[in-house]
Each structure stands twice: as structure tokens, then as C-alpha cells.
Structure 1
Amino acid sequence: YMQVWNLDGVSRLSGYLALGGVVIFGTVLAFSFYLWGVELIGAPKASMIAAIEPVSAAMFSYFWLNVEFTAYDLIGFIAIMLCVLILSKDKKDEFKC
């Protein structure tokens, strides 16, 4: 449909600046801030927050881009939230045999 084999690539300064912005802000700084956050709050809490990220991205797309969701999408959101709640539960609350 898009015939990507006919694209010329980045050819102007604005294209190179946009590419550099994606590399610097979207990759280097984002990953550096994530690692800094893991150092501050610990790996278990950071992984719980990272597990919720797809749901928050979907909510932002719903409110900003007016994306409509199906029942399967909502079931997936609930499944993610339940998994995060189950994993964050303290071990001392479990029954011992």
C-alpha cells in the first residue's frame, strides 16, 4: 500500500533533527530515567508499574484520540490489573500447608 521500497529516506535537516530527537529523547533519556526510577523505588515496584503501562497507554488513546474499545480489550485490561494485584500481594497472606 505505501510502497516503502520507493521512499527516499531522510534527506533534509528537519528530518535529521526529528530522527535525533527520537533517538535522544525517546530512547536514551527515557531508558536512563527508567533505570534511575528503578534505583529509587526498587525493581519489584518498577516492574509492577511497567506492567500497568499498556493499560495507561490505552486510556490515553481513548481520551485523546477517541479510540473505541471492544469487550475483548476491556477483558484484557481487567486481566492485566488482576495479575498486577495478585503479584503485589504479600507472601505472608498466603495459607501454609
Structure 2
Amino acid sequence: ELLRYAEAQLSEIEGLRIYGTAPGKCSIVSFNVAGVHPLDLGMILDKLGIAVRTGQHCAEPVMTHFGVKGMCRASLALYNTRAEIDALAAGVRRAVRMLR
């Protein structure tokens, strides 16, 4: 449920692309925003207290497949809440406004 909610919230952000949307996948959302470097996005989210991972995630062939240098990745678990997903989406929006 949280994964679907996160994908829905993030999909509303202009220029954001989610990678890996296969049915039954684990609760990880990998994404990029057009015109924003994933490391810059991750740094700003970190300053906002929002934890994501950035880079190639030990999956360089996947990055090559998608034609990107890296991605941002949010990992969800049983203890995460919708409020945290809302904070992630708000943080991404704020970072995008700063970086574009």
C-alpha cells in the first residue's frame, strides 16, 4: 500500500520518472527528475531530514539500460507512514525548485 501511495505522490511531480514498476516488486522507488542530478537531489533531501540513497546502487548495467548515470532511491518498510511519503514528495518538490 505504501509503495502504491509513494508512486502516486511522486508521479505528480513534473519531470519525475519512476524506474521499475513491475507488479509484485519490492517496496523500493527509484526515480530521477529531468534536469536535476540525483546526487544534488539527495543532498538537499538529506538536509531536509529525508533519507534516500543516490548513485548507481551497485547496478551499473541497469543504469546503462535506462541511459542514466544514477538514480535516487527511497526504500520503504513496515514502519514507514503516509506522512513520511508526503514529506518525501514535498522535499523533492522543494529541491527541484531550488535546482532548476
Structure with bigger RCO (C-alpha 8 Å, 6+ apart): 2
TM-score above 0.5, yes or no: no
Structure with bigger strand share is: 2
Tell me the TM-score normalized by structure 2. Answer: 0.30
Tell me the TM-score normalized by structure 1. Answer: 0.31
Structure with bigger helix share is: 1
